[in-house]
């Protein structure tokens, strides 16, 4: 089978890591419960930053966010390694800027993710992401972003939503913990 995975907030807790980093950089403590209730991807409003200020903060923190100690969701590496051992094809499809392609690929490998040449796509907008996913003829695709999930809904592709506070309004099969992976995939094939 062919499996496709978004990276940020699907395989790794980038948003949660950014939340911690912002607290350190801004010298402000914000309750985790407020973070867990956010209904949008962007976190800057928790720190009273405007959209413009939040965008600047995010862009100035990319190196730290992408290549430092961002935690991998428990079980994600092991599941993908198992899929690789079983002979399944694994594709990574991320909207991270193209300038971060090689660095992201190398970081994923250093974390233990099985990344093969030709199976990593980076630096596209949502519409291009959708086209890549269609062209790859994936059996399953995992993502957290509502706009991507909505675009893929209704397609023959099995879309599984990586549960996040900002995507709970989207209908579909949800992965809340990577330990649920095989159960969810089996439920789609039964």
Give the model confidence (pLDDT) of 43-57 as tens digits: 999 999 999 999 999
- Which residues are known to be catalytic? 6, 8
Whole-number pLDDT of residue 146: 94
Q: Say what angle helices 51-60 and 14-26 make with each other, to 10 degrees.
A: 100
What's the pLDDT tens digit per position in 152-188?
876 678 999 999 999 999 999 999 999 999 888 877 6
Neighbours of 140 (CB within 10 A): 21
Whole-number pLDDT of residue 189: 62
What's the pLDDT tens digit per position in 83-105?
999 999 999 999 999 999 999 99
Element housing 93 (H / E): strand 89-94
pTM of the model: 0.94
CA dist 112 → 10, 115, 137, 187 (Å): 16, 9, 25, 27
């Amino acid at each position: 089978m062919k499996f496709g995975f978004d990276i940020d907030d699907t395989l790794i807790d980038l948003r949660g890591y950014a939340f911690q980093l912002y607290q350190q950089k801004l010298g402000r403590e914000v309750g985790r419960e407020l973070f867990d209730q956010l209904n949008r991807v962007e976190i800057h409003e928790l720190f009273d930053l405007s959209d413009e200020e939040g965008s600047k903060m995010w862009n100035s923190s990319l190196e730290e966010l992408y290549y430092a100690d961002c935690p991998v969701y428990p079980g994600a590496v092991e599941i993908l390694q198992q899929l690789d051992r079983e002979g399944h094809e694994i594709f990574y499809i991320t909207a991270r800027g193209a300038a971060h392609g090689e660095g992201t690929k190398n970081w994923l490998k250093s974390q233990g993710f099985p990344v093969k040449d030709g199976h990593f796509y980076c630096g596209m907008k949502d519409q291009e992401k959708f086209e890549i996913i269609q062209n790859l003829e994936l059996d399953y695709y995992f993502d957290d972003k509502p706009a991507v999930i909505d675009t893929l809904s209704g397609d023959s592709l099995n879309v599984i939503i990586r549960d996040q506070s900002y995507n709970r309004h989207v209908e579909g099969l949800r992965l809340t913990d990577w330990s649920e992976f095989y159960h969810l995939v089996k439920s789609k094939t039964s």
